[in-house]
Amino acid sequence: MNMHALLLDRFSEALKKIGADENAPVPISRSTKPEFGDYQFNGAMALAKMLKQNPRNIATQIVDAVELDDVASKVDIAGPGFINIHISPEWLGNAVRDIASSPRLAIHPQAAQTVVVDYSAPNLAKEMHVGHLRSTIIGDAVVKTLEFLGHNVVRQNHMGDWGTQFGMLLAHLSDKLAAQEVAETALSDLEQFYREAKVRFDGEQGFADRARDYVVKLQSGDEQCLKLWHQFIDISIAHSEEVYEKLHVTLRRKDIMGESAYNDDLANVIEALKSQGLAVEDQGAQVVFLPELADKEGKPAAYIVQKSGGGYLYSTTDLAAIRHRCGTLGADRTLIFTDARQALHFKQTELVARKAGFMRDDQSYEHSPFGMMLGKDGKPFKTRTGGTIKLAELLDEAVQRATTLLAARDNAMSDEQRADVAKKVGIGAVKYADLSKNRTTDYIFDWDTMLSFEGNTAPYLQYAYTRVKSILRKAGEHSSSKSESIALQQPAEIALSMKLVQYEDALLSVARDATPHVLCSYLYDLASAFMSFYEACPILKAGIDETVKQSRLTLATVTAHTLKHGLDLLGIETMEHM
């Protein structure tokens, strides 16, 4: 049910009728206070200015022209010309009935776009870190939402699997293998392996030369060397997959399109930039100068696409990736999830790609940045000794903590059941803590808050879901497919129905802005609306009128369905008991 679009349509029609310019904005928003109704149209003032008329007068004309008889019980004008819309309980009741009888919760697929989503993308030379945790979780939630809305999503895991650091790593690995070590064992801790290689690179006689030699061999396609490289990245990918599996995210091996995949196209990229006069030589390097992004003195930004020795860079690969995505894959939109520190890189990359014609004007390039995950001390999240936190271990700790928490609660679960629930609660808590924050800000990672059964947390929502389900079980699994009419009388029933009807708007906003926190807030509000409803509107109590009971059970059924559906899009599992 797309409330927003419905009102937008009706008001656009009304504006046409009163002779407004067809490009006049149609600002519809949710009312901030109940006395202002459910929705507001705030465009009368701007329109009055344009038409040089009195705003209240314009508002009155709009109210007379707008057709809302079926939707609204009251439309009134407040202040200088705000139009307040009170949605009618009958319309709401019918809308909820439609949602109840639809497996897709009455949400119609959108006109399908091809959306390339670049997320997770760890660097295979090292252990996956918290920045990749954020990218992985947020990206996956957006992907699932886009897919549900009917878009054709292409996941692209742009893994860092190439570059000079592999020279040093391969030289170190080849020594380990020569000393009869097994690759899997040698690479069981990538962070440590990297450190060892770096120590040798910096201090050991001859090692740095060998490392550089490996880089040359790797780039020239030396077979032995490539074999070693494959061995390395295969094991490193397996480390990432272990994390993906624990996190319950949908990335698979087929989604990997690492930096190395673009090697063959890099020379073509440089050629294309040169032939258009975009890339020019500067101190031996190939550079695209960007006057659009000049500094205070008016010096244009320099975007390097090839180093003086001929080597390519992160930027070159990203340009090749654009050609692949916009050309071969036919992306209407490209979404990229990395931390905010890369914002300038993507801004420059987009500018260069557009100048070079690698992207059409109607193809979007949306870097979706996120802030840092901080420890309780407000500093970047690290181990006590300042090292990188291993994600696999962090997730194990989450499950461990959830197990302790559940054991302390009074419930009759078998050990097996508890282990399953602990996994869903622990992982859910970590993911939800991240997803529920506006992604652009930093946030503090705090076990106690995220595992709390109160507040905007995964355990709260998972628990709310089990409560609704237990009510439905007690009522004897209410079948929601019957098209009974829904009679909404109590304010709490109306408020809950309003929330249910707004689900589609929340999803559209997630898909448009790549902001899963909007869905989190929505689900939290929904669960809270249900709790208030259940307190004010008894369902199973003796003496409740049968139609009222059926109507309330339908509300409960749709609430359960929506909670489960929304949590699933966020990649958070639900259970029947907890």
Q: List CB contacts of 578: < 8 A, sequence separation 6 or more.
A: 406, 411, 421, 425, 462, 463, 466
Residue 139 binds to ligand ARG (criterion: CB under 6 A): no
When the beta carbons of 118 and 127 are compared against ligand ARG, the nearer one is 118
Residue 336 binds ligand ARG (CB under 6 A): yes
Which listed range, 47-55, 114-122, 171-179, 410-418, lies at the site for ligand ARG (CB under 6 A)? Answer: 114-122
Verify binding: residue 127, ligand ARG, rule CB under 6 A: no
Q: Site for ligand ARG (CB under 6 A): which residue of 11, 59, 85, 118? A: 118
Closest to ligand ARG by CB, 91 or 119:
119
Shortest Cβ 136–ligand ARG spacing (Å): 11
Span from 117-125, 195-203, 214-222, 453-461 in contact with ligand ARG (CB under 6 A): 117-125
The two structure tokens encoding residue 155: 């996941």
Interface with ligand ARG: number of residues (CB under 6 A) = 10
Instruction: Find where tokens 């009522």 sit.
Output: 475
Cβ proximity to ligand ARG: between 141 and 257 the closer is 257
Using alpha carbons, select from 490, 440, 506 the residue that is nearest to residue 30. Answer: 506
57-80 as b/e: b if 16+ CB within 10 A: ebbebbbebbebeebbbebebeee
Under the binding rule (CB under 6 A), the answer on residue 318 touching ligand ARG is yes
What does the block give as tokens for 498? 């309003």
| Binding track over 154-183 against ligand ARG, x by CB under 6 A | ----x-x-----------------------
Looking at the DSSP assignment, which residues form a beta bridge with residue 85?
39, 75
- Is residue 338 involved in binding ligand ARG (CB under 6 A)? yes
Residues recorded for the chain: 578
Show Cβ contacts of residue 63 under 8 Å, excluding neighbours closer than 6 positions: 75, 76, 77, 83
Helices (H), 276-373: 314-322, 343-355
Question: To the nearest whole angstrom, how small is the minimum distance from the Cβ of residue 427 to ligand ARG?
Answer: 22
Partners of 281 in beta bridges: 286
Shortest spacing between CB 571 and ligand ARG, in angstroms = 20
Binding segment toward ligand ARG, per CB under 6 A, in 42-50, 92-100, 120-128, 166-174: 120-128
Structure tokens at 516: 């899963």
| Closer residue to ligand ARG (CB): 142 or 336 | 336
The interface with ligand ARG within residues 186-245 (CB under 6 A) comprises none
Query: Cα–Cα–Cα angle for 235, 239, 244, nearest 5°?
Result: 135
- Return all residues near 98 (Cβ < 8 A) that are at least 6 apart: 1, 106
Residue number of the CB atom closest to ligand ARG: 121
Per CB under 6 A, the list member of 2, 61, 88, 123 interacting with ligand ARG is: 123
By the criterion CB under 6 A, which residues form the site for ligand ARG?
A: 118, 121-123, 158, 160, 318, 321, 336, 338
